[in-house]
Structure 1
Amino acid sequence: MEATEAVSAMKIDEKSPLTVVNSVKTDPAAAASAGSQAQRGTTADASKDTVELSSDVQRYAKAAEALPKVPEIRTERVAELKAAIKAGEYNVKARDVAEKMLMAMKKGIVV
């Protein structure tokens, strides 16, 4: 590179998956198409800058599209558990609780 050429710098911020999902929630189809276009790059002019996005963007867009379709509360399961508790048939093994707590702690989830 010659000393007379200008060098431009670009800062790339890492975003959390949740941030990406929230940003494509309004238009997941546009985000997916933008991701696939960026992956293909441009062949018309080799002097232009290109951006390649990971396949994560497409997966996040699909997840954001599917998320509203998933019920927030599984009412059938809640009804089953309430009935079992009311009948005195709901029993939890202490070992199962301990294992779940340890797994949550390993993942960094505060219990």
Structure 2
Amino acid sequence: MTKDKALHAWFSQFLPSYPTSNVPDDAVFPWLTYELITGSWESGEIPLTVNLWYYTESEAMPNAKAQEISDAIGMGGCMVAYDGGAMWIKRGSPWCQNIADESDKNIKRRYLNITVEYLSQN
């Protein structure tokens, strides 16, 4: 599996997931968007932004999903294999921020900071 497909598969275990630049017009809440940035061994930690999108009056569901992703990453991060290597996914800092949507008060967004280290030559 390529790096981009491995990253997509990892995020998709939580919610329907889309690269930030490729959210379909007919996407249905909730969903997750992520920046697709890849690298290799010498790239070091690469920061990625992940957004959780919900349509709800409650803060409970988006907060619970952010916690679920945090738990999946764990204290030391998690490893995800891909063809020729692996990526080390870690929580960034700050981990989670609540973002209000000016167009609709029921759109709840969580802005997550994640770092990824690509452990491969290419």
Q: Which has the higher contact order (CA 8 A, sep 6+)?
A: 2
Q: TM-score, normalised by structure 2?
A: 0.25
Q: Specify the structure having the higher radius of gyration (Cα).
A: 1
Choose between structure 1 and 2: higher helix proportion. 1
Choose between structure 1 and 2: higher strand proportion. 2
Q: TM-score, normalised by structure 1?
A: 0.26
